[in-house]
Structure 1
């Protein structure tokens, strides 16, 4: 865990160094970035590029804080993974227990509810919407029991996923986020949980943009994320949270062209303040940066000589799309340099083996690095081919690259 925490801070320091390099070069490169807003009266905040993962600005982003209903993002993540894997289905009917009934569970009194009735059957689809749109604490309990058999087992799943996603400063004690001892997260971790929701579970994330949901009431309940109604931004998520201990929290995500940003504001004083501060971050981010996709998954960026293989060359690139954050208007100036790990590649070799590094360069500054990997499997050649390659390789080593 300590090693993970150290590496995370190293990566963040490098990100800040890159942004500092942009700032120091303003006079030469003629694409100045406006200073990031300094948000007052909030406990912590962060803004990231959801595709590249770059941190664009942050304050107290590693400070452990009460997540409140931001916890439901992880509840939703566990549910989304269960649906994706086929362990549960949207059409499953869930019997509502006494613990998930507000009248029967004093802990739920006065909190956000879907207003479930004990003994009734409700579909997974409706309960999931109740969690995401209505922030229903009762729906969280019902789904936890359906997915894992008990709330405690579900909380274990939540913490396991937090570990898998590298959320080193997050620990859950409840399925809904009501105040509990030893329950905490950070602005940084919530931003990257949002990134995982968006990128790993698009069907689950699609629910977050719905503005209202009606269940068991005469009128629909509105999504508490007021930025969904803001016509100046294309916000399509993510989640609000509030308790007396936490203050007002908001994780928001919006899209502009090829760029998606995620903002997190924690510990604001009011609902309006968490929205206005989030909007400040998002507007600054969209005006200052854009996301570039210089490497498309499985499309060769170069090829290299391979020895002892049934093919003479191997295609190199990335098995996943690569995204890089650059100052607004500078996408066309991004360049790539390739650094090989060794002078020679030998077969047999599997697909996806790292053989070098792609360096993404802007104004002579390395702004990002990604692995350069083999895009195909290359089998070993036969006996005579191996002998011939051995001779050629020795000549290359003795006399320079003549073959």
Structure 2
């Protein structure tokens, strides 16, 4: 009985020590809306609105009027790409399919296309889906958008419904699409923040489609057109996409993404004055982001973080970790300021335990502010132990209760 008690005592007080330590640490957290990093000397950009976000965390690094309503221009084609990606994933169309061009996609027969970006499609032409996709992405072809929208949905209106449906699905709160190409139309609007989310979603969900955005030119029907994203030619930045846009009402718009080490940034500028201004200002924001911040990857998904004791199980401990990779974006050289707190939901955990079962959460704190929370999950199944194991654990619990009465 002495041995049983000593074993139980050691086991139980490990749990108590863990819980008390966590609760004491947890009480020091300060929740506040003020800027976590208090970054000074932010870039001065004269565009109507802009935003710079970190791709991995979604953290806003700097912004101006990022939720103010603006015209999307051709940045709307990112959502066109997203809908195409969904249709390809669901096998509703294939890259080698051929689309017959209708009068609706014929520039000569549509005054709304006058002076806009085109693939120069002709009525009756049979064009492959893969060429239409490149025409949309690289030539910003408004006629190509109409052609593929009709092929997927039967008509443009049904395709626009899909655009708005997926816009809500990915979390766009201030965006409404009225057409498939982004030309100015009453009631069509977006924000810099929504465009950033749209770009992030395309990169995450359809990397194959996104990879096309870095191609610098496309030749179709003996006509060669260059990608209008001038940052692709900038050797000081590793920009690999994504899109520019311009109309009289919208001004000069851009969304661009660049990588450096394990960090990816996304910048959006809406309503800049000239093509050169949007290039200069987007480059300025990206450089500032890479110079000021750093993304670290402290914990990998399903990596063992700790083992915690359990009762009534075939084994006395269960390994815990996190289901997704952990990325944190911080000001450079602030790694040592990060604190990690663990909180286990219950002070007594009983078998059976199932893989991916949430047992608590992990909190990352910097400057006494919470920057991220992640659920702590079981990394393995732990079934109930045999009768003897369960009986001994039960006796230990009774003894402890009796001792501490």
1:364 and 1:271, CA in 2 relative to 1: closer, same or farther beyond 3 A?
Answer: same
Partner of 2:42: 36
What is the 5 A alignment of 1:4-403?
17=34, 20-23=35-38, 33-40=39-46, 42-218=47-223, 220-331=224-335, 334-362=338-366, 364-380=368-384, 386=390, 388-393=392-397, 395=399
Q: Residue 146 of structure 1 aligns to a residue in which SS?
A: helix
- What are the superposed Cα offsets for residues 279-315 of structure 1, whole Å, 9 maximum, x if unpaired? 1111110000011111111112122223444443332
- What are the superposed Cα offsets for residues 242-284 of structure 1, whole Å, 9 maximum, x if unpaired? 1112111101111111111001100111111111111111111
Alpha-carbon offset, residue 393 of structure 1: 4.4
Q: Is the 8 A contact 1:356 1:372 kept in 2?
A: yes
Q: Is the 8 A contact 2:32 2:369 kept in 1?
A: no
Alpha-carbon offset, residue 167 of structure 1: 0.9
Q: Residue 209 of structure 1 aligns to a residue in which SS?
A: coil
- What are the superposed Cα offsets for residues 115-146 of structure 1, whole Å, 9 maximum, x if unpaired? 11221211111111111111111111111122
TM-score by length of 1: 0.86
Alpha-carbon offset, residue 365 of structure 1: 4.5
Q: Residue 88 of structure 2 aligns to a residue in which SS?
A: helix
Q: Residue 329 of structure 1 aligns to a residue in which SS?
A: coil
Partners of 2:187 and 2:69 lie apart in 1 by: 10
Partners of 2:204 and 2:334 lie apart in 1 by: 25
1:314 and 1:271, CA in 2 relative to 1: closer, same or farther beyond 3 A?
Answer: same
Q: Identify the range of structure 1 (279-288 vs 118-127) with the bigger mean alpha-carbon deviation.
A: 118-127
Count residues with an aligned counterpart.
374
TM-score by length of 2: 0.85
Q: Is the 8 A contact 2:36 2:366 kept in 1?
A: no
Partners of 2:107 and 2:176 lie apart in 1 by: 25
Partners of 1:160 and 1:394 lie apart in 2 by: 57
Q: Is the 8 A contact 2:36 2:367 kept in 1?
A: no
Q: Is the 8 A contact 1:61 1:188 kept in 2?
A: yes
Partners of 2:401 and 2:222 lie apart in 1 by: 79
Q: Identify the range of structure 1 (351-360 vs 302-311) with the bigger mean alpha-carbon deviation.
A: 302-311
Partners of 2:92 and 2:336 lie apart in 1 by: 45
Gaps of 5+ in 1: 1-13, 24-32
Q: Is the 8 A contact 2:174 2:194 kept in 1?
A: yes
Q: Is the 8 A contact 1:48 1:191 kept in 2?
A: yes
Partners of 2:336 and 2:366 lie apart in 1 by: 10
Q: Residue 131 of structure 2 aligns to a residue in which SS?
A: helix
Partners of 1:299 and 1:392 lie apart in 2 by: 31
Partners of 2:253 and 2:67 lie apart in 1 by: 15
Q: Identify the range of structure 1 (376-385 vs 81-90) with the bigger mean alpha-carbon deviation.
A: 376-385
1:384 and 1:128, CA in 2 relative to 1: closer, same or farther beyond 3 A?
Answer: farther
Partners of 1:176 and 1:310 lie apart in 2 by: 60
Partners of 2:399 and 2:101 lie apart in 1 by: 76
Q: Which has the higher contact order (CA 8 A, sep 6+)?
A: 2
Q: Residue 178 of structure 1 aligns to a residue in which SS?
A: coil
Q: Identify the range of structure 1 (369-378 vs 186-195) with the bigger mean alpha-carbon deviation.
A: 369-378
1:294 and 1:101, CA in 2 relative to 1: closer, same or farther beyond 3 A?
Answer: same
Partners of 1:271 and 1:378 lie apart in 2 by: 61
Q: Residue 342 of structure 1 aligns to a residue in which SS?
A: coil
Q: Residue 214 of structure 1 aligns to a residue in which SS?
A: strand
Greater Cα radius of gyration, structure 1 or 2: 2
Alpha-carbon offset, residue 383 of structure 1: 6.2
Alpha-carbon offset, residue 57 of structure 1: 0.6
Partner of 2:8: none
